[in-house]
Chains A and B, each alone.
Chain A
Amino acid sequence: MKVRVKVLKWLCVMTLAGVMAFGLVGLTRADDAPKPDPAGTATGDKTTVYDAGGTALVVSEPAKLSDDDAKDPAKKKAYDDSLKAYNDFKAKADKEPVAMQLADAVGHNRVAINFTWTLVTGFLVMFMQAGFALVETGLCRAKNSGHTMAMNFMIYPMGMLGFYLCGFAFMFGGMGPITTMGGYAGLNNEFTINLFGKPFGLLGLKGFLLQGAGYDSAVFTLFLFQMVFMDTTATIPTGACAERWKFSSFMLYGCAIGTIMYPFFGNWVWGGGWLSQLGANFGIGHGHVDFAGSSVVHMQGGVIALVAAWIVGARYGKFNKDGSTNFMPPHSIPMAMLGTFILAFGWFGFNPGSSLAATDLRIGVVATNTMLASATGALAATLWMWWVRTKKPDPSMMCNGMLAGLVAITCPCAFVSAGGASILGAISGILVVESVFFFDKIGIDDPVGAISVHGVNGCWGCLSLGLFADGTYGQGWNGAHWFKLVDGTYKFFSDPSTAPTGSTEMGVLGLFYGGGMSQFWAELIGVTTCFITLAVITFIVFKVIGAILNGHRPTLDVEIGGLDVPEMGCLGYNGVVMDKEVETPHPKGYSNPSASVPAASRTPVSTR
C-alpha cells in the first residue's frame, strides 16, 4: 500500500513538472507570434466588421506575387483584380476617416456580442452539471445518493483543472485564429505529421496553464466554453459506473479525463486536426463535421462509460447466472425528470452556443432543431416502451428518450431542417430503448443508460448528419469547398476559385439531399476513430488506476449496505428510513454469490 501511494505521488509530481516545462517553453520562446490581449482592449476593430452575407468591410492588401507566379496569366489576373479592389477601398477609406473610426467601434461591438454569446451559453452548459447530477442520482438507489452526487459534483473541478493544466492546450493549441472573437491567432502550434502527402494534425502545443500566448481574453472565453463541454463528457461515465465505483478510483479518473482522455480526439475534430481536414485533404465531404459535439463530447463520454463499466463490472445482484436482470429501483423519478429538464434547458447553450457567434443568425435554426429533436426523442421512446416493449410508458425511458434526441441532434443541428431534426430525433428515441435492452443482454450494467444515450446516439447523431444535412449552411466548412454545378452534379474543388461560372457553393450536404455518400463516409471515419481511440485510452487508464488502487470496487458489504457512509462519511439522506435489504437483490443461480462480480479492492475504506 505504501509503495503504491509513493508511486502515485511520484507520478503526479512528474506529470505536473512535465506540463509546467511545456508551459514555460511556450513562455520563454520569443517568436514573432501575435500579441495576446489579456485586458481585451485591443480586440475587435474594422477588420472584424462583416455584413450579413459574410463579406468583410475592409479589403486587405493582396500578398506580393512571386516572379514565378507572375508568369501565370490566371494568377496575375487574380492579383491585379485584388490590387484594384484594395486601391478602390483605400481611396474611399481615406476620404472618410470618421467612418473608419466608426467601423472600428462597430467591429469591437461585433466581437463583444460574440464574447457575450459564448460566455452566456457556456454558463448554461455549466448548469447542465446539475442536470446530470440529478438524473444520475434520481435513477440510482437512495443509499448511494451522497456518493453519486459527490462524483458528479467533483468531476466539475477535477475535469476543469486537468483541462486548464494541459487538456485545452492539447486540444486547441494549434487551432489558428479565433475568427468570431477578434481573430487572435496566437494558438498556432499544431504538432503535424505528413501522411499520404498531406498534413495530419495530431496535437496542439500552445496555451498550457493559459499563460504566454494563452493569456488572451478571447482564449480565456474559448477556454471556458470548451471546458464546460469537456466536463459534459467527463460526467457521463459516473452514471454508467454508479453504485459500485470507489471514490478514490473515480478521483484518479477525474485527473485523467481533462488531461489525456478527452483532448486528442477533440483536437482531431475541433482543433484543426486530421479528422476535420479529411475534406480539404482528400475530398471526403467537408471532413468529419460535428457542430456541437455528438462525437467529440457525447460519443467520447459514451465509449469511456462503456469500457469503464465493463472493467469495473456490474453491480452486485444485477445479473443472475442465467443472464436475467434483477430490479434495482430508481429512488426518485421527480429528481430524474427535473434533471432531464435542466439538461434540456442547458442544451440551448450547448448547441446554439457552438456557433461561438451571435452574429451568425443560423442560431435560431440550431435552437429550434435542438428543441424538436428532444420532443420527438421523448415521444418515440415513450411510445416504443408503451406499445412494443413493457406495455407501460416508463418515466425513466421518457428521460432517456429526450436526452437521446438531444445527443443525436447535437452534431447535425446547424445543418438540417425541422423535418430532418424531428425524424432523426424520433429514430434516436427508439434506438436508445433498444440499446438499453441490448447492453443488459450482453452483461454490461448501466444504471442510468449513459452508454445508450450518449455513446450509441452520439454515433447515430454524426451518421445522421451524413444523411439529413440539406446544404443550406456550412459553405467552406473545415476548409472544404463543394459546388453544385449548372448541370446539377455535386463536386469537390480543392481551390474554390477554379469552380466553373454559374456553380453555387453548397453547405454541408447529406445523402437524402443529393450529396451522395461522401459526407456519410467522413462521419463514419470519425465515429470509428472515436470508438477505437477512446476504447484504447480508457482501457489503459483504467488498468493503470486498477493497478495503483488494487481494483475499482469497494468491498461487498460496503456495496450492499450503501456507499454513502463508508466512502463519504455521511448519508445522502439523514433521518430517512431506507429499506436497504429490499433494495439489494441477491444474484440467483450462483453457489457463491460474491463471485458473481469482480473482486473488490483489497484495501478497504477506512472505518472509524
Chain B
Amino acid sequence: MNKIEAIIKPFKLDEVKEALAEVGIQGMTVSEVKGFGRQKGQTEVYRGSEYAVDFVPKIKLEIVVADDAVDRVIKVIQESAKTGKIGDGKIFVWKIDKAMRIRTAEMNEAAV
C-alpha cells in the first residue's frame, strides 16, 4: 500500500475530489496548510511595519491506495490540479507498512 500526499491550490480541491471519485477513490483526508516552493512571496507594509508574505495557503490531500493504483491516481491528481502557473504544488508517495479499519478490524488491502 502507498500513501499519496498531494499539496494543491485550495480552489482546486473540488475538481480533484470529483476526478478521484471517477476513478473509484472513495476516501481521503484533507488539511489546510501553508507553504512555499522556489518562488518566494512579496514584501508588504502595514502601518509602517514591513513584513514578508512567504507562506501561501495550500490544501494537503492524503490518500492511501493499493500498489497497483498509485500511478493511475497520481496522474489523475496532476491533471485535475494543474493550472500551469507557479505554485501548483507537489505530490509525494510514501510506503505504508500496515493499515486497519477501526470499525471492523480488517487489515491492509481490505482496509483501504
Contact = CB atoms under 8 A, between A and B. Distances in A.
B68 interface: no
A109 interface: no
Nearest to A327: B51
B94 interface: no
Nearest to A326: B49
A390 B49 CA distance: 10
Interface in B19-59: 45-51
A440 interface: yes
Contacts of A437: 47-48
Contact of B50 (A327, A392, A394): A327
A392 B47 CA distance: 10
A325 interface: yes
B44 to A, nearest CB: 8
A329 interface: yes
Contacts of A326: 49, 51
Interface in A383-404: 390, 392, 394, 396-397
Interface residues of A, number: 15
A517 interface: no
A11 B48 CA distance: 43
A52 to B, nearest CB: 49
Nearest to B46: A327
B49 A394 contact: no
Contacts of B45: 390, 392
A436 B47 contact: yes
A326 B45 CA distance: 10
Contacts of A396: 46-47
A328 interface: yes
Interface in B64-79: none
A325 B46 CA distance: 10
Nearest to A318: B49
A394 B48 contact: no
Contacts of B46: 327, 329, 390, 394, 396
A399 to B, nearest CB: 11
A397 B47 contact: yes
Contacts of A394: 46-47
Nearest to B53: A327
A392 B43 CA distance: 13
A397 B47 CA distance: 8
Contacts of B47: 390, 394, 396-397, 436-437, 440, 449
Interface string A314-331: 000000000011111100
Contacts of A328: 49
Nearest to B55: A582
A436 B48 contact: yes
A271 to B, nearest CB: 38
Nearest to A397: B47
Nearest to B52: A327
A5 to B, nearest CB: 40
A328 B49 CA distance: 8
Contacts of A390: 45-48
A80 to B, nearest CB: 69
B110 to A, nearest CB: 34
Contacts of B49: 324-328, 440
Contacts of A440: 47-49
A222 B51 CA distance: 49
B15 to A, nearest CB: 26
Interface string A435-447: 0110010000000
A394 B49 CA distance: 13
A530 to B, nearest CB: 26
A285 B47 CA distance: 39
Contacts of B48: 325, 390, 436-437, 440
A329 B44 CA distance: 12
A325 B50 CA distance: 7
A579 to B, nearest CB: 9
Interface string A153-186: 0000000000000000000000000000000000
A242 to B, nearest CB: 15
A392 B50 CA distance: 13
Please indicate which of the listed interface residues A325, A326, A436, A440 has the most CB atoms of chain B within 10 Å of its own CB: A325
A437 B45 CA distance: 12
Nearest to B51: A327
B68 to A, nearest CB: 37
Please indicate which of the listed interface residues B47, B48, B49 has the most CB atoms of chain A within 10 Å of its own CB: B47
Interface string A223-235: 0000000000000
A87 B47 CA distance: 70
B43 to A, nearest CB: 10
A384 to B, nearest CB: 12
A394 B47 CA distance: 8
A326 B46 CA distance: 9
A390 B44 CA distance: 9
A396 B47 CA distance: 8
A207 to B, nearest CB: 43
Contacts of B50: 324, 327
Given A392-B45, A437-B48, 15 more contacts: A325-B49, A327-B46, A327-B49, A327-B51, A328-B49, A390-B45, A390-B47, A394-B46, A394-B47, A396-B46, A396-B47, A397-B47, A436-B48, A437-B47, A440-B49
12 contacts: A324-B49, A324-B50, A326-B51, A327-B50, A327-B51, A328-B49, A390-B45, A396-B47, A436-B48, A440-B47, A440-B48, A440-B49
Q: Give 4 closest A-B pairs by Cβ, nearest first.
A: A327-B51, A325-B49, A390-B45, A327-B49
